[in-house]
């Protein structure tokens, strides 16, 4: 099944907060509910939240009481702003919203409100369908980098749950596995929300791909001892120079891999590449509720003492010098990224 889909005139998605304990479907009927689903990480993963936001505009169009094209566009602009601020780091969110708005703005003249509503939903569905095709192409390109017998360290969750279907970095692993290559995955827990142990491990179980969960601070050990041959992760935004913003902990993982001569691959669609930003210092970094850090438990007991304070940046930026290559649907991009990334976008 798809992570995000339109059914019965509503937006439905796998509630990722409930996994791996239970597989539940969350339903959104307004763009405000959609923005909250993104903010609360009911749905997560840069491509997935982009598609979710596009469908959120379809909900806004359906809920609008506008009687003219101009009034509907005004309502959609308001909804677009609400959706775009729900999470700031992943560029796919704004990319998808802007794409829908651009299409509708071009078609608005001489169209009825009902026609425009249909156009919004059609474009959102088109983005969702394209996402699946894009991921499968990335999987084919990236699988060429995986050798038979490789052990891969994977950070966060980049499988079907992070997109509409198939996956980015984990999609590469799935493709290589499907080709008959023996691939073993060391799954970073990915603290503090544990997307690795909660989501990636669950996905790998569904696919029958062998894996072991490791805490994030174990990665250096496995890289230094030669137990891992590749490092794979996704991207929430890639600057024009190849700096990669991804889930917090990616930078430390890439540093350890670089120090031990292990290739580091970021796998992301071209919609995650933001050529308007010169480098990673310009990428906004979301700071989330400290309770995500303070609320962790060990053996049923809360870890942090009462009254403790915490910081919780959700992402970090890995400098391009630590990235071996960036895998996109249009091919594998190698340094110099500032010259080669524009060629694939």
**Residues that are catalytic:** 236
Parallel, antiparallel or unpaired: strands 331-333 and 264-267 = unpaired
- CA angle in degrees (0–180, nearest 5) for 323-142-128: 105
CA dist list (Å): 16 to 183, 202, 259: 25, 11, 34
Residue 11's beta-bridge partner residues?
6, 28
CA distance linking residue 230 with residue 209, whole number of Å: 16
Q: Are 17 and 4 in contact (CB under 8 A)?
A: no
Parallel, antiparallel or unpaired: strands 325-328 and 264-267 = parallel
**What are the two backbone dihedrals, phi and then psi, of residue 174, each rounded to the nearest 5 degrees?**
-60, -45
Peptide bond into 59 cis (omega under 30): no
Helix (H) or strand (E) holding 48: helix 46-63
Sequential DSSP letters for 275-324: TT-SSGGGS---B--THHHHT-EETTEESSPTT-----BSEEEE-GGG-S
Parallel, antiparallel or unpaired: strands 237-239 and 244-247 = antiparallel
């Amino acid at each position: 099944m798809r992570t995000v889909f339109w059914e019965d005139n509503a937006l439905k998605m796998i509630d990722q907060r409930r996994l791996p304990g239970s597989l539940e479907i969350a339903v959104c009927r307004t763009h405000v509910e959609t923005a909250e689903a993104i903010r609360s990480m009911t749905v997560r993963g840069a491509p997935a939240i982009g598609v979710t936001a596009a469908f959120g505009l379809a909900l806004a169009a359906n809920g609008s009481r506008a009687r003219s094209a101009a009034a509907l566009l005004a309502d959609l602009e308001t909804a677009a702003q609400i959706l775009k601020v729900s999470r700031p780091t992943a560029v796919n969110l704004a990319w998808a919203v802007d794409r829908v708005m651009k299409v509708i703005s071009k078609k608005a003249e001489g169209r009825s409100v009902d026609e425009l509503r249909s156009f919004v939903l059609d474009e959102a569905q088109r983005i969702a369908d394209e996402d699946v095709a894009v991921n499968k192409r990335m999987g084919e390109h990236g699988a060429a980098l995986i050798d038979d017998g490789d052990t891969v360290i994977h950070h966060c969750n980049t499988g079907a749950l992070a997109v509409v279907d198939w996956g980015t970095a984990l999609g590469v692993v799935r493709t290589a596995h499907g080709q008959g290559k023996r691939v073993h995955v060391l799954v970073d827990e990915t603290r503090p929300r544990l997307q690795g142990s909660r989501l990636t491990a669950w996905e790998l179980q569904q696919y029958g791909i062998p894996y072991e969960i490791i805490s994030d601070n174990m990665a250096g050990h496995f890289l230094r001892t030669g137990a891992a041959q590749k490092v794979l992760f996704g991207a929430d935004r890639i600057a024009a120079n190849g700096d990669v913003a991804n889930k917090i902990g990616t930078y430390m993982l890439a540093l350890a891999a670089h120090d031990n001569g292990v290739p580091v691959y970021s796998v992301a669609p071209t919609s995650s590449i933001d050529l308007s930003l010169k480098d990673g210092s310009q990428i906004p970094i979301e700071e989330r509720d400290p309770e995500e850090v303070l609320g962790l438990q060990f053996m049923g007991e809360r870890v942090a003492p009462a009254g403790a304070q915490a910081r919780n940046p959700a992402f970090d930026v890995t400098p391009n010098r630590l990235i071996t290559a960036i895998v996109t649907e249009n091919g594998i991009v190698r340094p110099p990224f500032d010259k080669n990334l524009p060629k694939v976008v």
